[in-house]
Amino acid sequence: MHTTTRRAWSAIGAAAATALVLSACTGGGARTAPDTVTSSPAPSSTATVASLVPDGEPADVVTGLDAPWSVVRTGDGPEALISERDSAKVLELAADGSTREVGTVPGVRSGGEGGLLGLALHDGDLYVYSTAEDGNRIQRFALAGDTGSYRLGDATTILDGLPSSGIHNGGRIAFGPDGMLYASVGDAGNGPDAQDRDSLAGKILRMTADGDVPAANPFPDSYVWSLGHRNVQGMGWAEDGTMFAAEFGQNTWDELNLVEKGSNYGWPEFEGKGGTDEGFVDPVQQWATSDASPSGLAVIGDTVFVANLQGESVRAVPVSDPSQSTEWFGGDFGRVRTVLEGPEGVLWFVTNNTDGRGDPRDDDDRIVAVPLSRG
């Protein structure tokens, strides 16, 4: 049983709601100062770049997690499901901060960057991306029971045999505003495959909830939605349908990309910007790999939040000007694996210090909540 050291959720929820109201009325009060601002050009004096910012003291939602990778909330409150990469367990988070085991995904091969990775909820079913002996796969589990008593039902494999390796497995899955399931597949350590349309490595895939190829996909009878990716681990959509993806670079540049149907993002021919003359799409923002290693991504209102592993921070990017970003919590919590919208105007972020690459702190790993207000 994992335990929590957080405040009562009613208190932090009320604080978040109050902060949002005060911010709307007064333009915002005192807030935690950002650690750094990127060197991207500042908006012009006539531009208005609205965004949400952390505004308040972070509080633990739950502690004692073992290499958490993905978190999906199951309702309007703080209840959620959590994947643990190495144990292959799915945990249920209760409103009081306690957890219980929902089940263990069978046949998961953990090791390196593989294991139990992304989760997504759709029409009462739990979708799971994991590494098996014969490659990465996406499965759909009937989620039996109800809040406080969920359990994994029967599994249906909707896509398997995806390229896998000890590195670059991708692993993020999410349902887009079009109702389709999107999945990021890494290059599995073989960069040239990212340019091969017949390979699913180094791609973002798009499929129906049953695993079929949608007729509107850019290439006939292909799951491929976009290509030329090294290792995407964050995907999200703005309210206008714009799709963002966070991508690990190799030695020079990590990337934030605007993902469009059928587009090629250049890996391994280009890392970072510089590929437009060759027909590739440049990132809208890039960061030195030592400062970022972006993993999970969430779009909340008009702001893209990006989790950073090596950078040990959370970045906030305005949807209206994605060349800008502000870094928060630099070094305060160690490696950050993913981010998501919490209840009542709160940002959740998930640490990842127990995966063998971090420096665990007392009670790691954890989910941390911080109120948001208008910047």
* d(C-alpha 188, C-alpha 170), whole Å: 8
Averaged pLDDT score across all residues of the chain: 89
Q: How confident is the model at residue 375 (pLDDT cuts 50, 70, 90)?
A: confident
The residue with greater pLDDT, 9 or 123, is 123
Q: What is the pLDDT of residues 182-230, one digit of tens each?
A: 999 999 999 999 999 999 999 999 999 999 999 999 999 999 999 999 9
Question: Is there a contact between 292 and 336 (Cβ–Cβ < 8 Å)?
Answer: no
Q: What is the pLDDT of residues 220-262, one digit of tens each?
A: 999 999 999 999 999 999 999 999 999 999 999 999 999 999 9
The residue with greater pLDDT, 33 or 45, is 33
Find, among 372, 350, 346, the residue nearest to 2 by Cα.
350
* d(C-alpha 101, C-alpha 87), whole Å: 11
- 41 φ, ψ to 5°? -55, 140
Find, among 319, 332, 298, the residue nearest to 375 by Cα.
319
Count of CB atoms situated within 10 Å of the CB of 103? 19
Find, among 192, 184, 299, 288, the residue nearest to 237 by Cα.
299
Give the three-class secondary structure for 37.
strand
Q: What is the pLDDT of residues 39-79, one digit of tens each?
A: 333 332 233 465 899 999 999 999 999 999 999 999 999 99
Enter the pTM of the model. 0.89
Give the three-class secondary structure for 15.
helix
Question: Is there a contact between 247 and 226 (Cβ–Cβ < 8 Å)?
Answer: no
Q: What is the pLDDT of residues 316-329, one digit of tens each?
A: 999 999 999 999 99
Break the chain down into helix, strand, coil percent, rounded to 5.
10, 40, 50
At residue 337, does pLDDT exceed 60?
A: yes
Q: Which of 28-37, 105-114, 205-214 has the lowest mean pLDDT?
A: 28-37
